[in-house]
Structure 1
């Protein structure tokens, strides 16, 4: 593989995403009691230490071990590999899209790593804006995946607008 500035940018975003996520999870495992809740900003923003054996919001945690391995380890690794291959080969992607895809890949790899290393994913943040906006308990990897998806949608709309104007 030829290491161009573009390739280095992609790999750096992925590596930094994984590093930030893993550091935050190591800190949480070491400093936050499992099952506890600590207020950061009142009830609006709280800190937890929850081990999630499933995917988003615990979905799939009741699956048998074989299905859980296929759906939460094998399938994500295959999809992440295909997405990485795509962004390395598609030279038409702009930097915003590259950032978005790389963030998604980094977050995905970080959570897959947790499933392999610990058998679950450590989640620790919760936001509740008085019922107007409420999240499940999540982690930095989830934040990068979600942010990447939002940025990808924005980049897609920008690209369509630019194509329309041309």
Structure 2
């Protein structure tokens, strides 16, 4: 059971921070409202999206339902994979990275599945309420994902000589996202950066086990 402690703790922390931040924003801010945290380079800016991470969209009401159900199936698969990795003593770093991805995916599933039932609609003129008397703004599986982290780090215009976009305005980094999105991104990036270390040790360990079997 000790091997499960760190992944479970990491997942719990990510989910707690993600959901607390979303509840606070949902109950205290209007859609489109924002404020600066570190100058104008880090802002809390409240938006909601019907689709995927970083505000991407996916095809109307049916697309929304399909995406939510697909997420649930995917998270169940990741959860089983995480259990298998811990049980079979995969590299601890790899397990924690997968735990980050699992926590992030689960965090956004909670929005998609339940927020439509729990909250009233957020608008530019009215803040949402929790457990509204008239019911939530959507049915189960049709909730919107709450995003609020915004980092408009560099803004300006491309030089006139720049191909295709010469003279046009640009902004980096444009997407608004949440803690769950961040956990998924960090988990994926760390796996890509350290995959050779993770899987090299697994390969060496398996070779060692196979050698012992042949010697016996």
8 Å contact from structure 2 (residues 55, 176) kept in 1? no
Does structure 1 residue 110 correspond to structure 2 residue 107?
yes
- Asked which structure has the greater CA Rg, the reply is 2
Q: CA RMSD in A?
A: 2.3
**Partner in structure 2 of residue 122 of structure 1:** 146
Match of 1:140 in 2: 179
Contact 2:15 2:103 (C-alpha < 8 Å) held by counterparts: yes
> 1:85 is matched with which residue?
80
1:58 corresponds to: 55
SS at match of 1:39: strand
Distance 2:54 2:32 in 1: 15
Contact 1:107 1:141 in 2 (8 A): yes
Is the helix fraction higher in 1 or 2? 1
Other structure's SS at 1:48 match: strand
Runs of 4+ in 1 over 4 A off after TM superposition: 160-166
Q: State the partner residue of 1:67.
A: 63
Q: What stretches of structure 1 of length at least 5 have no aligned partner?
A: none
> Could you tell me how far apart the structure 2 residues matched to 1:41 and 1:79 are?
36
Q: Structure 2: 5+ residue runs without aligned partners?
A: 116-142, 156-170, 206-216
Aligned to 2:93: 96
Cα distance change on mapping 1:126 and 1:76 into 2, 3 Å: same
Q: CA deviation at 1:41?
A: 2.2
Give the SS at the match of 2:177.
Answer: coil
User: What are the superposed Cα offsets for residues 28-61 of structure 1, whole Å, 9 maximum, x if unpaired?
Assistant: 1223332112122232111111111111233235
Q: Is the 8 A contact 1:87 1:93 kept in 2?
A: no
Distance, in Å, in 2 between the alignment partners of 1:43 and 1:35 is 16
User: TM-score normalized by structure 1?
Assistant: 0.85
Q: Secondary structure at the match of 1:50?
A: strand
- Give the structure 2 partner of residue 44 of structure 1: 41
Report Cα offsets for 1:118-142 as digits up to 9, x if no partner.
2101100111221484140011111
